[in-house]
């Protein structure tokens, strides 16, 4: 495992104390009500966590991609829904950081870093999930504006976002080379939220369908160049997949800790179930897989900072391994608790439901395998 330096250890300690005091006591309620935790968003905002991916020159406190991963890991240890507040804030900002102009970065960076504007990442459509070339949302240049029509689905933060990094076709004949990126504000006429999704897990993170009807977007809000949107979108996912891996690691850490605590307290046949070899070895397997995923995740986070040529490969590897591990560990943790694990008064079933989405968003794990194999075979 990558050894954290003193500053990173201090940062983890600060976030962990906050999570123990503020997030953990709210986790079950957030899942039960399905309401966005505005109070925790304010806490994260006060700690500067909303600006972890925004460089200082644009109003943030970026010190390295690992810091973002560490924050998300620690929050997810108690509540995955709450960790998405920090994760999605970075996700929506990254296309602007990667392809945007200096004017765009200076305008939106302070809003994102301060938490005054919540962001979202608008790529997925009903008919264009893994296949971005099937995108139907279109943007047509008209004078000093673009007119956008279409819709996006399964957008994290979509129903509450102030700013959306939106991807639309400016030339459908070119496939993915005809996709362009735009900065869209929720006040633009023609922007609407058509649906709030009801989900199996991450219930406190709003997910919705966005609709654009003759929405006018200033031409100055084009991100980078026309036709480069797919590149910006994929580079964004290279940065965000290690964050999902960190989220998976945090969730698994929390599940393992809960399982250990339960196994020490639950007595059967005259002794704690942790004393039975079958149970202790089960915990050992969970821990070993968790530590391996954590090491891979930290490595991938480091590669984002140095623009390592294997960044795409390692980003996909970390997301694949960590999310599969999280699902397995969460399921095993529930099994440790037996019938009690299936009850909503314990956190195990919530953790298992939350773990499943990590295998799906930011590219399904089947897509991660395609990316990994493509990178392998291209060398």
* Catalytic residue numbers, as ranges: 362
Radius of gyration of the chain (CA): 21
| Spatial CA neighbour of 65 closest among 307, 234, 290 | 307
Distance between CA 165 and CA 180 in Å, rounded?
10
3-state DSSP: the chain helix, strand, coil percent, rounded to 5? Answer: 60, 15, 25
User: What does the block give as tokens for 231?
Assistant: 């590149």
| Spatial CA neighbour of 322 closest among 370, 355, 285, 283 | 355
Compute how many other C-beta atoms are within 10 angstroms of the C-beta atom of residue 277: 7
DSSP at 4? P
Distance between CA 204 and CA 160 in Å, rounded?
12
Strands (DSSP E) contained in the chain are 119-122, 138-142, 145-156, 163-169, 179-185, 191-196, 207-218, 222-223, 267-268, 271-272
Distance between CA 19 and CA 13 in Å, rounded?
10
Cβ 75 vs Cβ 15: under 8 Å: yes
Compute how many other C-beta atoms are within 10 angstroms of the C-beta atom of residue 285: 12
Cβ 41 vs Cβ 26: under 8 Å: no
Q: Phi-psi region for residue 49, left (φ > 0), alpha (ψ -120 to 50) or beta?
A: alpha
Distance between CA 116 and CA 109 in Å, rounded?
10
Cβ 165 vs Cβ 183: under 8 Å: yes
Beta bridge partners of 209: 195
User: What does the block give as tokens for 373?
Assistant: 């194999």
DSSP at 250? H
Beta bridge partners of 207: 156
């Amino acid at each position: 495992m990558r050894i954290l330096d003193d500053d990173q250890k201090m940062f983890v300690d600060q976030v962990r104390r906050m999570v123990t005091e503020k997030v953990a006591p709210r986790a079950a309620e957030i899942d039960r009500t399905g309401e966005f935790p505005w109070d925790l968003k304010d806490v994260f905002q006060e700690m500067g966590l909303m600006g972890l991916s925004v460089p200082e020159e644009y109003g943030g406190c970026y010190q390295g991609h690992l810091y973002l991963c560490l924050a998300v890991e620690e929050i997810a240890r108690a509540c995955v829904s709450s960790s998405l507040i920090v994760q999605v804030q970075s996700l929506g900002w990254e296309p602007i950081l990667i392809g945007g102009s200096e004017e765009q970065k200076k305008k939106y960076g302070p809003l994102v870093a301060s938490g005054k504007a919540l962001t979202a990442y608008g790529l997925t459509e009903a008919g264009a999930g893994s296949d971005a070339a099937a995108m139907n949302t279109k943007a047509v240049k008209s004078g000093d504006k673009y007119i956008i029509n279409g819709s996006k689905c399964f957008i994290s933060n979509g129903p509450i976002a102030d700013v959306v990094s939106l991807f639309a076709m400016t030339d459908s004949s070119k496939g993915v080379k005809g996709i362009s990126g735009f900065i869209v504000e929720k006040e633009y006429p023609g922007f609407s939220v058509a649906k709030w999704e009801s989900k199996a897990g991450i219930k406190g993170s709003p997910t919705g369908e966005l609709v654009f009807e003759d929405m006018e977007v200033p031409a100055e809000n084009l991100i980078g160049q026309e036709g480069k949107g797919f590149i910006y979108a994929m580079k964004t996912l290279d940065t965000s997949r290690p964050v999902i891996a960190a989220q998976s690691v945090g969730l698994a850490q929390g599940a393992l800790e809960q399982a250990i605590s339960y196994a020490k307290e639950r007595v059967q046949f005259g002794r704690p179930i942790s004393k039975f070899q079958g149970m202790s070895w089960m915990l050992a397997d969970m821990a070993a897989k968790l530590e391996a995923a954590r090491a891979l995740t930290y490595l991938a986070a480091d590669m984002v900072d140095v623009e390592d040529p294997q960044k795409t490969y390692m980003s996909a590897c970390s997301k694949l391994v960590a999310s599969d591990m999280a699902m397995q560990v969460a399921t095993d943790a529930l099994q440790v608790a037996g019938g009690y694990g299936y009850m909503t008064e314990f956190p195990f079933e919530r953790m298992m439901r939350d773990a499943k989405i990590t295998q799906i968003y930011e590219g399904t794990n089947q897509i991660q395998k395609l990316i990994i194999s493509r990178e392998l075979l291209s060398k």
